[in-house]
Structure 1
């Protein structure tokens, strides 16, 4: 399906300069037809990007209004909602808001992957506590 890029909400704080360069190279070749659709989750009146931030950013830079997308069926919806909230706290509401958050590959890996590890641990504890509270309330 085609989704308007302006309807996409990031769940990622940074972009990799290397990944973006690789996508740009694909975009300039005939292989753009073979680029996988991005993965999304419905959330309110927008769609959360679960995979494909670099592809969405490049599509926007290339002047496209829409991008191919498919619904993510891998689960983890609660995590993505928390990631989206973390983005909003940093004033990242759209793909274009990542413009000043493009990092060299080694910095991207250090900042993003380390942040994700810590965030995922905290989020797991939070979601477990909420589930435990719900279980106690239903007994």
Structure 2
């Protein structure tokens, strides 16, 4: 995995919400100012747009710390690209284009599970 630096504003989120519990957990252990030593975030391309496949909470913490250039790598995992396309479409419909757009969409864990995780599970089931 070869990592490189990319402007966070050039990377689209692929989820509609953040989990407050995860932000709280990571907030104590993740130091966004330590960019050089933090694990890079996985991204893929959809058309001409790069998007996060994971690491939305860390991306959010970078953004909150006003760190705009972050370490990333091209995710080569075999992912369900139909699901990611659906998620990216949901984000466009909800006008979630930048990680900063999620700052007003932070939910308690149980609501995150209901509103996001369940929605994704239902989308997977409808693909079958």
Normalising by structure 2, what TM-score? 0.85
Considering Cα pairs closer than 8 Å and 6+ residues apart, tell me whether 1 or 2 has the greater RCO.
2
Partner residue, 1:134: none
Q: Is the 8 A contact 2:96 2:102 kept in 1?
A: yes
Equivalent runs, 1:43-62 vs 2, <5 Å: 43-62=46-65
Question: Given that residues 41 and 77 in structure 1 are in contact (C-alpha distance below 8 angstroms), is that contact kept between their aligned partners in structure 2?
Answer: no
Q: Which has the larger radius of gyration?
A: 1
Q: What is the distance in 1 between the residues matched to 2:32 and 2:98?
A: 26
Report the 3-state secondary structure (helix = DSSP H, G, I; strand = E; otherwise coil) of the residue aligned with 1:51: coil
Partner of 1:16: 19
Count of matched residue pairs: 124
Q: Which structure is higher in helix share? A: 1
State how 1:35-50 maps to structure 2 within 5 Å: 35-50=38-53
RMSD: 2.1
**Offset, 1:3:** 1.3
Residue equivalent to 1:84: 88
2:105 corresponding residue in structure 1: 101
Q: In 2, Cα distance between the equivalents of 1:52 and 1:14?
A: 12
Q: Unaligned 5+ residue runs, structure 2?
A: none
Aligned to 1:67, which of 45, 67, 70?
70
Contact 1:48 1:80 in 2 (8 A): no
**Tell me, which stretches of 5 or more residues in structure 1 are unaligned?**
126-139
- Contact 2:33 2:65 survives alignment (8 Å): no
- Given that 1:26 and 1:32 are in contact with CA atoms closer than 8 Å, whether structure 2 keeps it comes out as no
TM-score (norm: length of structure 1): 0.79
